[in-house]
Amino acid sequence: MTPPPVQHFIILGATGPTGTMVTPRLIAMGHPVTAIMRSETRRAEFEALGAKVALADALDRDSLFPTLESAATGNVTVLNLLGGNPFMEPATWPDLTGVVNTTDAAVAAGISRYILVTSVGTGESWQYVPKDAYIRPILELKTQAEAHLKSTGLNWTIIKPGGLGPPDFRIQRGNPTITQNHGIRGLIDREDLADVILRVVTAPPEQLRHRELYAVVDQIEHHDGEPEPFPLPELT
């Protein structure tokens, strides 16, 4: 059997808490990685890992489009890990504008595969978000961003993790429940999320075409019956 072509990952949000876990593991698995960053601050750190670094701001289409086009070499997958901090000014949140810009830039660059990490509570699961939830405004933006992604011809996969908390917030690790059932709510440790992302990127792309996968470890509750597990390859 002919092995699948090696994927070149262009990562948005590589310098975030989840991105710093995923990037070195993708490189260790033999995948070329280009990390899109807004500044030179962490260039040396990521280049030491073996990643290429390209400068662009996801909120600025004029900088993003040519940067993504230049980086799009080989069998390319965009991995979007961008996320806003609900305790910072909404103008800094990339959850809608950043996703729309990178989605449009991927289409313009001729990239076909796009993996977006959003959150439980978006899309069909929006109905279960408490009205006083502090993260509700960001979830609304993420829902709009998902709708934009779905409107394109990209081969998209959306990963919806449970609550992560701040970067230093520790959640019990475990074997994540991965399901397409939108009624699930719960928490997930960032290292477990990194594992889920790696399992998604190593699965056959056509198996995950136009799939929305919810992933939690500490399940709080579930609506609409028990969640059916979605099969993903185990990490070796």
Domain positions in the chain = 7-222
For position 166, what pLDDT does the model report?
65
Q: What mean pLDDT comes out for the span 48-68? A: 97
Measured CA to CA in angstroms, residue 64 lies from 69, 70, 95, 146 at distances of 8, 10, 15, 19
Note the pLDDT tens digit of each residue in 179-224: 999 988 889 999 999 999 999 998 998 999 999 999 998 777 788 7
Note the pLDDT tens digit of each residue in 126-142: 988 888 888 999 999 99
Q: What mean pLDDT comes out for the span 6-26? A: 95
How does the average pLDDT of the chain come out, rounded?
92
Give the confidence band of 1 by pLDDT, cuts at 50, 70, 90: very low
Q: What mean pLDDT comes out for the span 71-76? A: 93
Asked whether residue 3 carries a pLDDT value surpassing 60, the answer given is no
For position 78, what pLDDT does the model report?
98
Concatenating the DSSP letter of every residue in 166-235 gives STT--------EEES-TTEEEE--HHHHHHHHHHHHHS-GGGGTTEEEEEESEEEEESSSPPPBPP-PPP
Its CATH architecture, for the domain 7-222, is 3-Layer(aba) Sandwich (3.40)
Number of H helices, E strands in the chain: 6, 10
For position 221, what pLDDT does the model report?
73
Note the pLDDT tens digit of each residue in 154-168: 999 999 999 887 666
Q: What mean pLDDT comes out for the span 82-89? A: 91
Q: Which 8-state DSSP code applies to residue 152?
A: S
